[in-house]
Structure 1
């Protein structure tokens, strides 16, 4: 029994609930069969969830009425199915003779899977057993001809649904590592190609079933996708902590199932019966791949004379070979290495470090190999620090992977950037370790630095290289945070970075490449053309300052930006109306807007750009006499850039009061409004203040959910609070934003008194509104 924390009452645990549901349905069905005369030459059998005794609260019933030539079978079927339909129970039903059952199992893979799980409910048990044995015999006899379809359908499903282990909202049933993969292993075992699932897979199956059962109970309907807003309640009910603890448990279970399913498919293929001419062919030969490593039957395995117990680099050589060739490592080889491979002593032999770098340099090829090493304990032996990040769910919704998988994906991205740096070895290892400090409490960059120093020494790097690795981990967020949240035209900002990095150009180059790899591995949309331009610009300026050269010009789409600013100033002074210039260059564009100097110029311009689906990445405001000039770096969210004349016309209407900006934005927002469920699961917004000691600037940072016209609303809130906005930086991370504003207040030197900050925070939070959109349009 479990305690329902909402009402204090006790209720059945998930396994007990499934048992009760199965017993209840079995009792009703058997009673119904007895009352309508299903006994001689007829039988009712369950397949699917009821057949496996895995019935969740809102699972459909999968039933087959078997008969051996009975004339009244239609009457029996009607009297059986109609009460279930009338009760609103989901029903998948069929009526078969034994011959028909075997025939449909031979032609329909889904039907075959169901009949392999056949369980007798009522009627003639001999008839049920006859069909069960005939289906299983036909399954074993025809498995060679059906195996490709089995493997292809599984891989197609994995590609379509994705990994259970790494999805923020996983499909517990159909995802890679989900319940269907456990059933796949059962089906392969029924064909006598593999053994029954291991104890680890059985435990994983129980956890996935328990979570799915609770998901049905909470949702009040059949559901297989675990949503974030349901996870906390399910975790509490199952006494697994919070939703992050639940996610970590599910990830570990799913990875065990996924690994077993992949190994099972390969083992099954190797065990397929050989007939005809194939039985006369010679067994596959062993093809040498590297020292002590060969290919056999499409897998990487050990050579017969490999010194598995004496060669400390053998594990990494096998892994690097597999990643390089794209061949999987044989399960037997992994287990043999886990049992016999010697420990790598500190410092590692040069050969072992070389094989590690060879593995990491293969990019995407290493992802599955490292997963295989991790599932068999070999990766943890190489990197004991990995345990804290294994299966650790991200706290930031912008991340699409667990922390350990994110580290591997970042390393894979870094492998494509190694020619940009003079020390590709440090880039690869730094990418692998940059978030290693997570899961331990405290600042993960500081914790990670000490771990990176420890690991670097163990790997055998020299002391200077070890210090560089530690600095990479400590400062891996320095460039992206500065580029997207600070004023890059302020020399004090650049000087602070030079001082932080100790004037080391190598470290700067490594951090530049790592920032790109980290962003690309985080999730879709995190590495945008504008973010790339900002970081390249920041790196170029800092590098020039380090080596004493003149800094490059600021990031602009064209050198005509200054000319455009002069033109709009002249136009406003001459006509007294808003002026606009748009300068485009492929993905990015600069919009320069001039208006008569008045409060709210930035917010009004930002709102009009949002109306035309332009995503703002950065903004700055200056005043030339009686003219306010706002410059925006933008990109079109949909299609191409709008007609500048139309944008200028709408801006004029906003300023003269003939176009209600708030109402227009609200209408546009309704067109893209999220569902109520999407709104419920968004994190609450936060406002942070930074007093930059290097530049003297006051920075207000908003972290929250994106919304159409958000920049307009927040800028208006700041302006209405009596602040002057000097610049703005906008970073969109998936559905979340981090918007930073350099502001001047009424205090000495433009400071914002702390007594006013709480009031300003409330105004900014109010501007975020209650309805938040998932698209990034401002």
Structure 2
């Protein structure tokens, strides 16, 4: 350690008149210590073999006994002015078989010659017995000075423990170090974080490394020591609100498991190793009665993820808890900014509103997670703890708003990784998807795979969210990506087992029966296109016919499987997806599409007699009715047709805080008859009379709808990260997939159909319809669908002119008002050199 002298020569300090009377060194005692250590480590297998926790305890007792005996022998006793203090593993009472001894000889300004002779009588027997020793000789003030200037020294001294001698002297050191640490934590916190990040960059994440560094890797033992230091500074409790029944069993259990693995690594290799190598994994797994190397890898991954989550929470909590100085003490408490019903942003975290009652709102779990993914803000640990303790199970099938929130989460790309990991570590993800437990931390059997199975599924969903505009059902694409390998780890063909599980999941989350069938087919045949494209002759008509027959001639399923194949390959490992594979699958899909029959274009359902009567009556009317879902309402707006009417109607709904789920736009007898399915972001939809009054104002030009939508979007933009925050917020106004405008021939020579596939934003329908109307396009009808964070909107329009230039100009204008594509993904966790975490 940096605060240790590290040399073998005598030490010199300031003089003092008191102290023990030295005698000659007795190296034989240290030799006995070495002999006892060897006997402990070479006992036969079976009942006489001490388990890992027991071995650590015996080693601590053995070294404590030797040091106290040696101290008594040379006169280091209470009131002597000398004390022996342990740091490191012995200080924590976690001594491993081949750990160094980290010792401090503490003295009270004693005579330098006496200090030197006393030190020699402790250090020389240990050196001569070839015991690895890190040592120093300090006064209390000297130790405090070293700790004040050296971060590693300070962290080491925070673990100090009195062994022998003057206990008051040790207590003065330990208390002084802790008081100094608490007083200086505001200035030292950034350096502590930087030190941790540098360590993580060097060693990577334990959960995703082939041969992980158990001590220094992200999610390792050193991270827990850092949390303990922050707890001493009274910035965090270090537990991350993890319950004992959470995956990983809580922070202390995860720490103990990694410590046990490290203990056996020392014992089996006979060396002080920190990196677990593949050739040692089976023996360590057997020694700990965990199983083979795959089961050991699963245990290590589970523990490391628990610790990583605790570190994220601990650093964030500590950052928010740093003591204020000067005028900052007078600063008002942070504002709680609303994000969704019962969900607010507070101090850079997603938290529950004061009036939120988790016990009465089962959908709150997904609403919080969706808000976190949408804004890039982490979920507060206290919020997750409340949800874990009080939120009831969602009824089956899920209500539509819960499914919508799940789709928003899955459609957020890499921003879903943090929320899903937090839900999983606190037991909430398994509550939503019980089938997840079989694949959690499951190591792959194929060296081609980079991630554990559960992380692979989330990575695939993140990749799929960037491909949603290629398909007509982006919701089914991200859902299929999330569960396509859910059948692994169950002792049978994972595609067949997974298809049955997909039926369970689809029915539970509230999909329509035909969508459940499509989801199940996606899982059953997610390997079909890669296998047929790379292993069969594409020039053989039987190959293409076989694919078409297997998929039942479904174009929708074919395009879903094509996108899923790419997302799955990208999430498997480097080089799995390339130009060669992409070209083969692309050619197979093109040939299948040519063989399939073209589907009919969809049209709106005919108007009901009641709506026809209202349209023929003329005037402006607004009707709002409940649906089967208590959080969803149908709003029908009727008004005389005029340019810009659809934009104003949709804009009024958005300004009223109503989230647009779908819309059907039609006309009759000179009146527009538009029906919108909406869900209030907060509370209830309000009075229908007020909604009609605002519509009249908008129709008469009294409200600039687009300008107000712009202002509202600025007001609801993600907040800037708080000062000193660890994880800054990320932009929310990005689509994970590049937007697409697709043109189809209409039903007659004067009309065309424009389909928009893009990410959603505040007032998107109002903005797009305003573009259409400003460019002179007359909207005959429209069908609008919001699927999570994506939209698939179809407009049947008559253009003011024909030709590609008119379409190109209109398309550019539409793309200018939809969210731009997100920046390319960057991974913090770099995978190891092998697909199996430890072999």
* Fold match (TM-score > 0.5): yes
1:426 CA displacement: 0.7
1:51 CA displacement: 0.8
2:230/2:236 contact within 8 Å kept: yes
Partner of 1:482: 532
1:529 CA displacement: 3.0
Partner of 1:334: 384
Work out the CA distance in 1 between the residues paired with 2:389 and 2:498.
Answer: 30
Per the alignment, do residues 36 and 540 of structure 1 end up closer, same or farther by CA in structure 2, a change over 3 Å counting?
farther
2:343/2:350 contact within 8 Å kept: yes
2:208/2:832 contact within 8 Å kept: no
Determine if the alignment matches structure 1 residue 350 to structure 2 residue 400. Answer: yes
2:424 to 374, 377, 393: 374
Structure 2 counterparts to residues 65-104 of structure 1, below 5 A: 65-70=105-110, 71-72=112-113, 73-104=115-146
Structure 2 counterparts to residues 456-535 of structure 1, below 5 A: 456-535=506-585
1:265 CA displacement: 1.8
Work out the CA distance in 1 between the residues paired with 2:71 and 2:257.
Answer: 34
Work out the CA distance in 2 between the residues paired with 1:514 and 1:4.
Answer: 53
2:84 to 23, 44, 48: 44
Q: Can you list the C-alpha shifts for 1:201-243, whole angstroms capped at 9, x where unaligned?
A: 2222221111111111111211122223322211211112222
Q: Which has the higher contact order (CA 8 A, sep 6+)?
A: 2
Return the TM-score normalized by structure 2.
Answer: 0.63
Partner of 1:431: 481
Partner of 1:286: 336
1:494 CA displacement: 2.4
1:164/1:178 contact within 8 Å kept: yes
Work out the CA distance in 2 between the residues paired with 1:265 and 1:342.
Answer: 30
1:4 CA displacement: 10
2:266/2:273 contact within 8 Å kept: yes
1:9 CA displacement: 7.2
Partner of 1:452: 502
2:60 to 22, 27, 31: 22
Per the alignment, do residues 7 and 61 of structure 1 end up closer, same or farther by CA in structure 2, a change over 3 Å counting?
closer
Work out the CA distance in 2 between the residues paired with 1:161 and 1:486.
Answer: 43
Determine if the alignment matches structure 1 residue 136 to structure 2 residue 186. Answer: no
Q: Can you list the C-alpha shifts for 1:687-731, whole angstroms capped at 9, x where unaligned?
A: xxxxxxxxxxxxxxxxxxxxxxxxxxxxxxxxxxxxxxxxxxxxx
Name the SS of the counterpart of 1:498 in structure 2.
Answer: helix
Partner of 1:568: none
Q: Can you list the C-alpha shifts for 1:11-53, whole angstroms capped at 9, x where unaligned?
A: 1111111122222222333344445554522222111111111
Work out the CA distance in 1 between the residues paired with 2:833 and 2:143.
Answer: 50
Ranges in structure 2 where 5+ consecutive residues have no aligned partner:
1-38, 245-249, 599-830
Partner of 1:59: 99
Work out the CA distance in 1 between the residues paired with 2:570 and 2:43.
Answer: 41
Equivalenced residue count is 555
Name the SS of the counterpart of 1:193 in structure 2.
Answer: coil
Work out the CA distance in 1 between the residues paired with 2:585 and 2:270.
Answer: 48
Q: Can you list the C-alpha shifts for 1:411-466, whole angstroms capped at 9, x where unaligned?
A: 11111111111111111000001011112221111000011112112222222211
Name the SS of the counterpart of 1:11 in structure 2.
Answer: coil
1:297 CA displacement: 0.8
Return the TM-score normalized by structure 1.
Answer: 0.67
Partner of 2:261: 211
Structure 2 counterparts to residues 711-726 of structure 1, below 5 A: none
Determine if the alignment matches structure 1 residue 314 to structure 2 residue 364. Answer: yes
2:293 to 226, 239, 243: 243
1:2/1:237 contact within 8 Å kept: no
Partner of 2:783: none
Q: Can you list the C-alpha shifts for 1:374-393, whole angstroms capped at 9, x where unaligned?
A: 12222122111112112222
2:160/2:174 contact within 8 Å kept: yes
Work out the CA distance in 2 between the residues paired with 1:317 and 1:87.
Answer: 63
Per the alignment, do residues 8 and 301 of structure 1 end up closer, same or farther by CA in structure 2, a change over 3 Å counting?
closer
Work out the CA distance in 2 between the residues paired with 1:518 and 1:427.
Answer: 11
Please say which of residues 254-263 and 105-114 is displaced more in the overlay.
254-263
Query: What is the root-mean-square deviation of aligned Cα atoms in Å?
Result: 2.7
1:362/1:415 contact within 8 Å kept: yes
Partner of 2:220: 178
Structure 2 counterparts to residues 537-616 of structure 1, below 5 A: 537-547=587-597
1:348 CA displacement: 1.5
Per the alignment, do residues 352 and 129 of structure 1 end up closer, same or farther by CA in structure 2, a change over 3 Å counting?
same
Work out the CA distance in 1 between the residues paired with 2:381 and 2:495.
Answer: 36
2:41/2:267 contact within 8 Å kept: no
Partner of 1:572: none
1:18/1:57 contact within 8 Å kept: yes
